[in-house]
Amino acid sequence: MCGIVGYTGKQSAITPLIEGLRRLEYRGYDSAGIALGTPNKLFIEKRAGKLANLEAELGVKIPTAQSGIGHTRWATHGGPTDRNAHPHVDNEGKLAVIHNGIIENYTQLRTELESRGHKFESETDTESVAHLLSDLRKSHKGDLSAAMREAAKYLRGSFTLLAIHSDAPTIIVGVRRNSPLVVGLGDGENFMASDVAAFIDYTKRAVELGQDHVVTMTPSAISITDLEGNAVVPKEYEITWDASAAQKGGFSHFMLKEIFEQPKAVADTLVGRLDENNHIVLDELHLSKQEIQNLKKIVVLACGTAYHAGMLAKYAIEKWAKITVEVELASEFRYRDPLIDSQTLVIAISQSGETMDTLMALRHAKSAGARILAVCNTNSSTIPRESDAVLYTHAGPEIAVASTKAFLTQVIAVYLIGLHLAQERVVLTGVQVKEIFNELLELPSKIEQILETVEPLRELTRGFAQSTSVLFLGRNVGFPVALEGALKLKELAYMHAEGFAGGELKHGPIALIEEGTPVIAILPASHEHGLDEKMLSNIQEVKARGALVIVIAQESAVVTGATHIIRIPDAPSLLQPVLATVPLQVFAYEMAVARGNDVDQPRNLAKSVTVE
């Protein structure tokens, strides 16, 4: 959940460290700190609150140093205070550690270290690692890399650790277990960070690190070993997006920029996915036609917004491919006895590829013999590496904590999977697949159309800024959209918001309706089963009890009973969620702005949930 960055090289370390932390602040903004590699004793500065607090404290007192480590924190053990901010140091002030994750056996470790005379200054689990490394380094005659290998064997939990010592300040040592760490390779300088965004201004060459790999970094070289000290050959790759993609580009917030990037993100996810023979091209799946035909069921694992994309996957895959799909909250999946085997395909959806709940559920499914397909936006992250196959969404960097373009591209990705499975199982013909694919290709321009006419919605939203609760209604594929709309509003506006299936309204939720309650209803695109008529009845029910009803409806739909209507372009029923979600994103964004909230960094949240 935290952002970490390390630098050693030819320039003053403070610039790449602060720039890197600014890029990583979306991962945690409870506090920030740095340790600079000055001789005799490290220079340490850290402050609670956002990075700006640290920068203000640094002022002009920064010493000259060409190496250092930096951290932005999302608090787990110990509150967001100056004392609990990272880095944490040993009692000599010569060794500093930063940490992302949780040390599960820190209580036992702290007791042992205190019995040996170590004095603790914080409430964190991380400080115990600083004292442990200090002792181990001495026993290894000053070898910090050997100390880190031994420490990692002792520690339980999920963690990325970076350490620096003033006796050899140009050396930074890192290790990762169930938590992200990537190395950037520069010219006479090298980087470590929890996300490539931290060093994208300086290099596009990166190295992926595997589980329990220890990396030792100097200005001129890196070396990687396993915990036994055996050398690991670095696997280098190129970062395919540039620094400008992580800038606001004239928008007031990253979230607004990312909302407006959705037409391109959706288009990029569709590029090259249909060949001249009308076949969906998903070579990444590594599943033969026979294996696909032998599948008994599909299980989708995801959390939060990705879970809503998984719900839409169920509708599409079951309709197109005629195979049973179960959608599971990854955080709950392994705490029962799920029925999966070698004829089960598990689709794990994660924007970051580091979501700990999803990763642990994936491992559980894999141990039972299931095939794993990851849907992810982050190249070479842990979930894709541990899966049998990966379908990347090509959304580009998503900096705002509340997901927008990552969600839409996840939906497109699972739709592509559904079409591919349908074709391989001979449920849909090439002509039928091409027709659906062409409708998918029309979505970017339709999203653009919504965004070009969004100003009245933004103005309308500001009128609801003082509301205490907003309810969302949907039926069929509109139900996951309602859940996603409610989640966005909770994340950003800090207000009560709930999504309900329209048919469940009379089973309890209608009791929440009172005079003036805003209700947002997604009118189904389909006349099948009378879904649209049923939703219109739901609208009348809440209106009769005093609700102010905002209806999201297609251009051709006839709407009655609405207080306000938000029109979206016509689209087939299964594709409507891609369009209907966009106004809900704008509604949540504008509500947060109107209420004076921090849009990109909402309280208590971080972008990548790397702890359980």
Distance, in Å, from the CA atom of 111 to the CA atom of 120, rounded to the nearest integer, reads 10
Average the pLDDT over 177-185 and give the result.
88
Q: Does 87 share its domain with 210?
A: yes
Last residue of a domain, one of 441, 462, 484: 441
Last residue of a domain, one of 245, 280, 315: 245
Residue 147 covered by a domain: yes
The residue from 2, 46, 405, 543 that is catalytic is 2
Residue 420 covered by a domain: yes
Q: Does 294 share its domain with 320?
A: yes
Residue 43 covered by a domain: yes
Residue 200 covered by a domain: yes
CATH number, domain containing residue 507: 3.40.50.10490
Q: Does 370 share its domain with 328?
A: yes
Q: Does 434 share its domain with 528?
A: no
pLDDT bucket at 178, cuts 50 / 70 / 90:
confident
Q: Does 417 share its domain with 477?
A: no
Average the pLDDT over 574-585 and give the result.
97
pLDDT at 324: 96
Q: Does 433 share its domain with 468?
A: no
Q: What percent of the chain has pLDDT over 70?
A: 97
| pLDDT top residue among 4 and 235 | 4
What would the pLDDT profile of 554-576 be if each residue is shown by its tens digit? 999 999 989 999 999 999 999 99
Q: Does 67 share its domain with 206?
A: yes
Q: Does 241 share its domain with 252?
A: no
Q: Which of 61, 85, 57, 58 is nearest to 73 (CA)?
A: 85
Average the pLDDT over 150-155 and give the result.
94
Residue 459 covered by a domain: yes
Q: Please indicate whether residue 2 is annotated as part of the active site.
A: yes
Single pTM value for the model: 0.76
Count Cα atoms within 13 angstroms, Cβ side, for 288. 3
Tokens of 493: 């506006």
Q: How many CB atoms within 10 Å of residue 558?
A: 8
DSSP character string of 195-260: SGGGTTTT-SEEEE--TTEEEEE-SS-EEEE-TT--EE--EEEE--S-GGGGS-TT-SSHHHHHHH
CATH number, domain containing residue 228: 3.60.20.10
Q: Does 161 share its domain with 276?
A: no
What would the pLDDT profile of 221-253 be if each residue is shown by its tens digit? 999 999 999 999 988 888 876 666 667 767 889
The domain of 503 spans 453-612
pLDDT at 415: 98
Residue 168 covered by a domain: yes
The residue from 94, 405, 543, 607 that is catalytic is 607
pLDDT greater than 90 at residue 312: yes
Residue 225 covered by a domain: yes
Q: Does 435 share its domain with 550?
A: no
pLDDT at 165: 97
Q: Please indicate whether residue 607 is annotated as part of the active site.
A: yes
Q: Does 294 share its domain with 193?
A: no
Task: Give the number of domains in the chain.
Answer: 3
pLDDT at 1: 62
pLDDT at 57: 87
Q: Does 418 share its domain with 529?
A: no
pLDDT greater than 60 at residue 610: no
pLDDT at 469: 93
**Listed ranges 196-210, 227-241, 570-584; the one with the highest mean pLDDT:** 570-584
Last residue of a domain, one of 245, 261, 282: 245
Burial code (b: 16+ CB inside 10 Å, e: under 16) for 25-36 equals bbbbbbbbbbbb
Residue 447 covered by a domain: no
pLDDT at 244: 63
pLDDT bucket at 24, cuts 50 / 70 / 90:
confident
pLDDT at 283: 81
